[in-house]
């Protein structure tokens, strides 16, 4: 909500100081906390406080209190002990709830029941534990029955408490590993299913009071039998058991995996929220639901949500029953026959809509709300900034700008680079989709298309993914335990669950394609098979999902790009452009790539690797000629071969300069070690030998002299131009001639000649002289006074970085080749790091792959030194980056801070770089360098 994070006033250092505040109350129009105290109170606690206590809101929040995240950290570090004053503070806060509610915790006549929930700084949906209905005991049951006159409701609540408590507190938090993987919850559910089967009952809501009573007794017996402990029968014991279990769940398996994936630090800890229960299961005038103030799937400014009549919150998020829509807008094929909340209870719906409006005005962002209606009275249980996918994030930000809810700078901060990336993700080719075999339909929980091979378990998803396979995780229902499998899968497909079930929330947050609630699909887990659309599909069969429509098809269908036509996407990026100070270029070696990058907004080419014309399509002829050049005996033979090669090189460069006309194009001279181009097949070698007029043996001898033990540190880059000046001359001539000819055609052409892999200024001087000589010759040949161009170098060898002040005297620009700079800075082979990197990451020796994100401490320092030294002798030295890091948001942030003029990345990363550069400007609005 509010932007600034307050540190909060409490400190847990000794754990016994009286003035430490560990517990923050809320309710009755007042609250100790605020929205900006998320670090201390967790997201949920801080927002509950804001909803309950802020003067613009004062919403109907059931009273409660939050135990701070610092207590969690203390608890986990001190053998599950609490700071000494906690107990008294909890008792005090409980008394406040009792006063507001007019009930008493543990009282036989008028008992108060509470929920105990987690709440970390950043939302971790479904990853930690919750216990509801705490305070129900043999003693209080009777009081509650008398009070409510509804024994069925009371025993149903008791059954739920026993199930949750035994699972969360008595088993998981106690560290008990269930035998053969079947936990106590599953064991209790067996009893429930058996009873339902015997009585011929389908829905839980049809179980009679008597049967619920019997179930509760059987549950307790089974718990004693399996866990060897009595189910606790005092409210206090239940409360503290619940609190400890929620704190412990911070270190549970799911939470741990989720934190790894989301990059959430282990030290944060979770808060615990204890709150008076509001019952959505008190009959047909009660319900519970989840709503979003705007549609999180596509961003439309429409109230969107689901609810379940006569149910508790866990039923909605667990995705066990398919929920009903709150309004007409939220209807889908699956729930259109169920009554909407607006029909069922127009008064409550209106109140909820009004709260939606007030919350958005106050929080200035889309909110995800949890609510409960207890016998016609609305209660707000939670509100937080809602997770959304990329398309929705862009749409909401742009709409909120139009609505004047937020400004341009907020718009840029509202979309993460990875959300934007989702817009660049594929959709199914519509031409194929119309013809495809439809297997089934479900709820469109995460948009876009995905294709992959079916797997039925998280373990399979993870292991198949590791083998490089594309998988679709197919599950009966959504389960937060599946988080790693969901991550590994291209998409998720479930038979049960609604739009707000865990899988849907998590998938949406990650921008994954996801379809839930495909009720016609049947899964046979033991056989690893599914039945859908009249077919039986096995593990490994290909299917394709359209997550936008909620449809899935047989076989692998072709995917195409979605972003290029999206106007909002382009408008959003224009806003980014108006803020960023870094220019964005692209690494492109073909006119096609250059054209694509222009559509994505590239402002020039930062790296054109000349050698690419010798790979791939139409490369046979130039490659043959290059090989002749490489295997020439002497300079005169080489010059002949180069003259032959020249037209190809010129044509290629000219086409790309043309495709990028109006913008600068950095053309790097030949870089790889020459032996890479030597043919390996004998017939190719023979053909080459014939063409050179030599015997095969002679050719083999020549090729052998090119072989190197350490080619990446061998005869490559500028070293080739030093030994074979004619190679540099040919390339530079091709560049200048292509530029003049295009200029004569009226195009604006700006080539930048770039020398790779230098380590000394003397290398650059040598190449500068050659370049100048050819430049004069070309000017003379074409009778032009000059050819606009720049001459510069890559900085990719540590010595070059450290002597950048000397080098800058000879260069008009620097471009950091961070691939090689990382390779040589670390001494890690960029081609072989995969062999040991996983161990380095797992042992925490490296925080991440340094070839993906610039290592700020080491490589970043080299860059910083080079920038400072370079600019110390040439104030306006143009500086950019063309290593792979140029498309990585964290590295872009660094490039901005260090004062580069531009970053260059692959065409598909250009939009992401435009956004990341704008965010970098907002994060550190430093002096803009001259562009």
Nearest distance, CB of residue 655 and ligand PEP, angstroms: 20
Long-range contacts (CB closer than 8 Å, 24 or more residues apart) made by 774-783 = 774/729, 774/732, 774/733, 774/736, 775/732, 775/736, 777/733, 778/733, 778/736, 778/737, 778/740, 781/737, 782/737, 782/740, 782/741, 782/744
Q: Find the shortest distance in angstroms from Cβ 864 to ligand PEP.
A: 17
Binding mask 745-784 for Mg ion (x = CB under 5 A): ----------------------------------------
Q: For residues 158 and 816, which CB has a smaller minimum distance to Mg ion in the complex?
A: 816
**Position 83 contacts ligand PEP (CB under 6 A):** no
Choose between 810 and 820: whose C-beta lies nearer to ligand PEP. 820
Report, in Å, the least distance between residue 801 CB and ligand PEP. Answer: 13
Residue 460 touches which of ligand PEP, Mg ion, none (CB < 5 to 8 A by kind)?
none
Considering CB distances under 5 to 8 angstroms, the limit depending on partner class, which of Mg ion, ligand PEP, none binds residue 488?
A: none
Tokens representing 520 are: 């016609």
Among 96, 187, 356, 609, binds ligand PEP (CB under 6 A): 609
Of Mg ion, ligand PEP, none, which one sits near residue 883, judging by CB under 5 to 8 A according to partner kind?
Answer: ligand PEP
Would you say 368 or 671 has its CB closer to ligand PEP?
671
Q: How far is the CB of 712 from ligand PEP (least distance, A)?
A: 9
Nearer to Mg ion, 20 or 793 (CB): 793
The item of Mg ion, ligand PEP, none sharing an interface with residue 882, based on CB under 5 to 8 Å by kind, is ligand PEP
The closest alpha carbon to 305, from 196, 239, 209, 380, belongs to 380
Q: Which residues, in sequence order, are CB contacts of 302 under 8 Å at separation 6+? A: 294, 295, 329
In the three-class reduction of DSSP (H, G, I as helix; E, B as strand; rest coil), residue 456 is classed as coil
Nearer to ligand PEP, 490 or 671 (CB): 671
Q: What is the 3-state secondary structure (H, E, C) of 322-384?
A: CCEECCHHHCCCCCCCCCCHHHHCHHHHHHHHHHHHHHHHHHCCCEEEEEEEECCEEEEEEEE
Q: Site size for Mg ion, by CB under 5 A?
A: 3
Distances (CA, A) of 924 to 103, 128, 688, 857: 53, 35, 57, 19
Asked about 882 being catalytic, the answer comes back as: yes
Task: Spell out, one character per residue from 786 to 815, where the chain touches Mg ion: x when CB under 5 A holds, - when not.
Answer: ----------x-------------------
| Partner that binds at residue 484, options ligand PEP, Mg ion, none, CB closer than 5 to 8 Å by kind | none
The residue (of 342 and 818) whose beta carbon lies closer to ligand PEP is 818
- Would you say 111 or 886 has its CB closer to ligand PEP? 886
Q: How far is the CB of 823 from Mg ion (least distance, A)?
A: 8
Encode burial over 894-915: b for 16+ CB neighbours within 10 A, e otherwise: bbbebbbbbbbbbbbbbbbbbb
Provide the CA 300 distance to its chain's centre, in angstroms.
Answer: 22
Residues between 804 and 833 with contacts to ligand PEP, criterion CB under 6 A: 817-820
Pick one of ligand PEP, Mg ion, none as the site partner of residue 607 (Cβ within 5 to 8 A by kind).
ligand PEP
CB of 882 to ligand PEP, least distance (A): 5
* Burial readout 586-598 (b: 16 or more C-beta within 10 A, e: otherwise): bbbbbbebbebbb
In whole angstroms, what is the distance from residue 147 CA to residue 665 CA?
79
Q: How many CB atoms lie within 10 A of CB 702?
A: 18
Active-site hit among 383, 513, 882, 895: 882
Would you say 298 and 391 are in contact if contact means Cβ atoms under 8 Å apart? yes
Q: Which of 204, 671, 766, 888 binds ligand PEP (CB under 6 A)?
A: 671
CB nearer Mg ion, residue 763 or residue 796: 796
Q: Applying CB under 6 A, which of residues 511, 883, 887, 889 lies at the interface with ligand PEP?
A: 883
Give the nearest residue (CB) to Mg ion. 820
Helices 567-579/390-402 angle, 10° precision = 70
Is residue 796 involved in binding ligand PEP (CB under 6 A)? Answer: yes
Concerning whether 54 is annotated as a catalytic residue, the answer is no
- Interface with ligand PEP: number of residues (CB under 6 A): 10
Per residue, the 3-state secondary structure of 221-265, as one string, reads HHHHHHHCCCCCCCHHHHHHHHHHHHHHHHHCHHHHHHHHHHCCC
Binding mask 843-882 for ligand PEP (x = CB under 6 A): ---------------------------------------x
- When asked if residue 607 is in the footprint of ligand PEP (CB under 6 A), the reply is yes
Q: How far is the CB of 796 from Mg ion (least distance, A)?
A: 5
Among ligand PEP, Mg ion, none, the one that 302 touches (CB under a kind-dependent 5 to 8 A) is none
Whether the CB-CB separation of 410 and 364 falls below 8 Å is answered with yes
Residue-level length of the chain: 931
CB of 594 to ligand PEP, least distance (A): 17
Least distance in Å: CB of 359 to ligand PEP?
A: 48
Shortest Cβ 823–ligand PEP spacing (Å):
7
Supply the minimum distance, in Å, between the C-beta of residue 919 and ligand PEP.
23
Residues with Cβ within 8 Å of residue 534, at least 6 apart in sequence:
none
Judged by CB, which is closer to ligand PEP: 414, or 609? 609
Nearer to Mg ion, 460 or 820 (CB): 820
113 or 862: CB nearest ligand PEP: 862
- The HSE-up count of residue 251 (CA atoms within 13 Å, CB side) is 14
In the shown chain, the binding pattern of residues 738 to 777 toward ligand PEP, with x for contact by CB under 6 A and - for none, equals: ----------------------------------------
Say which entry of ligand PEP, Mg ion, none residue 891 contacts (CB below 5 to 8 A, set by partner kind): none
In angstroms, the CA 724 to CA 847 distance is 42
Pick from 35, 124, 918, 912: nearest CA to 509:
124
For 833-872, give the secondary structure using H, E and C.
HHHCHHHHHHCCCCCCCCCCCCCCCCHHHHHHHHHHHHHH
Angle made by CA atoms 301, 302, 308, in degrees to the nearest 5:
145
Nearest to 471 by CA among 483, 482, 484, 462: 462
Q: How far apart are CA 445 and CA 510, in angstroms?
A: 12
Taking the complex as a whole, how short is the minimal distance between the CB of residue 604 and Mg ion, in angstroms? 19
Which residues contact residue 659 at a Cβ distance below 8 angstroms, ignoring those fewer than 6 apart? Answer: 591, 592, 594, 595, 598
Nearer to ligand PEP by C-beta: 474 or 759?
759
3-state secondary structure of 667: strand
Strand-pairing partners, residue 373, are 287, 378
Contact 889, 417 (CB under 8 A): yes
Q: Pick from Mg ion, ligand PEP, none: which does 609 bind, CB < 5 to 8 A by kind? A: ligand PEP
Q: Which of 425, 465, 502, 648 is catalytic?
A: 502
* Closest to 125 in 3D by CA, of 406, 450, 412, 502: 502
| Residue 887, binding choice from Mg ion, ligand PEP, none, Cβ under 5 to 8 Å by partner class | none
- How large is the C-alpha radius of gyration of the chain? 33
Q: Within 816-875, which residues bind Mg ion (CB under 5 A)?
A: 817, 820
Strand partners, 523: 530
370 scored as a contact of Mg ion (CB under 5 A): no
Site residues for ligand PEP per CB under 6 A = 607, 609, 671, 796, 817-820, 882-883
Binding-site ranges for Mg ion (CB under 5 A):
796, 817, 820
Any idea which residues carry the catalytic annotation? 502, 882
């Amino acid at each position: 909500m509010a932007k600034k994070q307050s540190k909060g006033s409490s400190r847990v250092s000794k754990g016994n100081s009286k003035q430490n505040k560990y517990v923050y109350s809320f309710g009755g129009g007042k609250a100790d906390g605020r929205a900006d105290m998320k670090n201390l109170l967790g997201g949920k606690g801080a927002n509950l406080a804001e909803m309950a206590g802020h003067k613009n809101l004062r919403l109907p929040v059931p009273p409660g209190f939050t135990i701070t995240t610092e207590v969690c950290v203390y608890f986990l570090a001190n053998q599950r002990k609490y700071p000494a004053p906690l107990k008294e503070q909890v008792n005090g806060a409980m008394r406040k709830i009792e006063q507001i509610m007019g009930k008493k915790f543990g009282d036989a006549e008028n008992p108060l029941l509470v929920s105990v929930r987690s709440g970390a700084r950043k939302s971790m949906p479904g990853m930690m534990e919750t216990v509801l209905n705490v305070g129900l005991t043999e003693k209080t049951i009777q009081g509650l029955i008398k009070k409510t006159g509804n024994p069925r409701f009371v025993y149903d609540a008791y059954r739920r408490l026993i199930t949750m408590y035994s699972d969360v507190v008595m088993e998981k938090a106690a560290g008990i590993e269930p035998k053969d993987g079947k936990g106590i919850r599953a064991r209790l559910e067996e009893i429930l299913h058996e009873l339902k089967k015997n009585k011929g009952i389908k829905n839980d809501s049809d179980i009679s009071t008597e049967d619920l009573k019997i179930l509760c007794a059987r549950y307790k017996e089974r718990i004693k039998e399996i866990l060897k402990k009595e189910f606790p029968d005092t409210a206090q014991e239940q409360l503290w058991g619940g609190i400890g279990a929620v704190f412990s769940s911070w270190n549970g398996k799911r939470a741990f995996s989720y934190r790894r994936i989301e990059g959430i630090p282990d030290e944060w800890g979770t808060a615990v929220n204890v709150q008076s229960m509001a019952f959505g299961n008190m009959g047909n005038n009660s319900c519970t639901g989840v709503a979003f103030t705007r549609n999180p799937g596509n961003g439309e400014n429409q109230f969107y949500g689901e609810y379940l009549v006569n149910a508790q919150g866990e039923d909605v998020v667990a995705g066990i029953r398919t929920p009903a829509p709150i309004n007409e807008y939220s209807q889908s094929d699956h729930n259109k026959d169920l009554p909407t909340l607006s029909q069922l209870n127009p008064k409550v719906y209106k109140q909820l809509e009004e709260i939606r409006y007030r919350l958005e005005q106050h929080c200035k962002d889309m909110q995800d709300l949890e609510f409960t209606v207890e016998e016609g009275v609305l209660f707000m249980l939670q509100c937080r900034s809602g997770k959304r996918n990329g398309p929705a994030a862009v749409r909401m930000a742009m709409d909120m700008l139009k609505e004047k809810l937020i400004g341009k700078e907020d718009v840029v901060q509202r979309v993460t680079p990875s959300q934007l990336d989702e817009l660049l993700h594929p959709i199914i080719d519509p031409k194929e989709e119309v013809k495809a075999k439809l297997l089934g339909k479900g709820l469109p929980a995460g948009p876009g298309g995905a294709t992959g091979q079916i797997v039925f378990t998280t373990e399979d998803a993870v292991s198949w993914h590791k083998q490089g396979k594309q998988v679709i995780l197919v599950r009966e229902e959504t389960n937060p335990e599946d988080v790693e499998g969901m991550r590994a899968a291209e998409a998720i497909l479930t038979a049960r669950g609604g739009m707000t079930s865990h899988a849907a929330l998590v998938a949406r947050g990650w921008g994954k394609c996801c379809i839930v609630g495909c009720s016609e699909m049947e899964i046979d887990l033991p056989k690893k098979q599914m039945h859908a659309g009249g077919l039986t599909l096995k593990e490994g069969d290909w299917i394709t999902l359209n997550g936008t429509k909620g449809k899935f098809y047989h076989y692998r269908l072709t995917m195409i790009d979605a972003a290029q036509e999206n106007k909002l996407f382009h408008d959003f990026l224009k806003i980014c452009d108006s803020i960023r100070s870094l220019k964005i270029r692209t690494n492109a070696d073909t006119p096609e790539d250059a054209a694509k990058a222009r559509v994505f907004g590239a402002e020039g080419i930062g790296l054109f690797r000349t050698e690419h014309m010798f790979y791939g399509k139409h490369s046979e002829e130039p490659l043959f000629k290059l090989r002749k050049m490489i295997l020439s005996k002497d300079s005169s033979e080489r010059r002949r071969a180069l003259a032959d090669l020249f037209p190809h090189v010129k044509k290629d460069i000219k086409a790309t300069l043309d495709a990028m006309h109006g913008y600068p194009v950095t053309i790097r001279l030949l870089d790889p070690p020459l032996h890479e181009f030597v043919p390996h097949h004998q017939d190719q070698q023979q053909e080459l030998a014939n063409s050179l007029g030599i015997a095969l043996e002679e050719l083999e001898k020549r090729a052998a002299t090119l072989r190197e033990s350490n080619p990446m540190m061998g005869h490559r880059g500028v070293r080739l131009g030093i030994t074979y000046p004619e190679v540099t001359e040919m390339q530079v001539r091709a560049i200048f001639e292509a530029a003049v000819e295009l200029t004569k055609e009226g195009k604006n052409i700006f080539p930048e000649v770039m020398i790779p892999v230098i380590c000394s200024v003397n290398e650059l001087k040598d190449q500068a002289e050659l370049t100048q000589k050819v430049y004069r010759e070309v000017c003379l040949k074409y009778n032009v006074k000059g050819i606009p161009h720049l001459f510069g170098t890559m900085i990719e060898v540590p010595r070059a970085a450290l002597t950048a002040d000397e080098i800058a005297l000879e260069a008009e620009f620097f471009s950091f080749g961070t691939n090689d700079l990382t390779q040589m800075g670390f001494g890690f082979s960029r081609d072989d790091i995969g062999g040991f990197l996983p161990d380095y990451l797992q042992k925490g020796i490296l925080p991440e792959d340094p070839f993906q994100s610039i290592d700020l401490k080491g490589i970043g320092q080299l860059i910083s030194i080079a920038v400072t030294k370079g600019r110390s002798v040439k104030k306006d030295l143009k500086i950019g980056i063309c290593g792979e890091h140029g498309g990585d948001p964290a590295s872009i942030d660094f490039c901005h801070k260090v004062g580069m003029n531009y970053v260059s990345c692959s065409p598909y990363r250009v939009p992401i770089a435009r956004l990341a550069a704008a965010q970098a400007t907002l994060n550190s609005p430093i002096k803009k360098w001259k562009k």
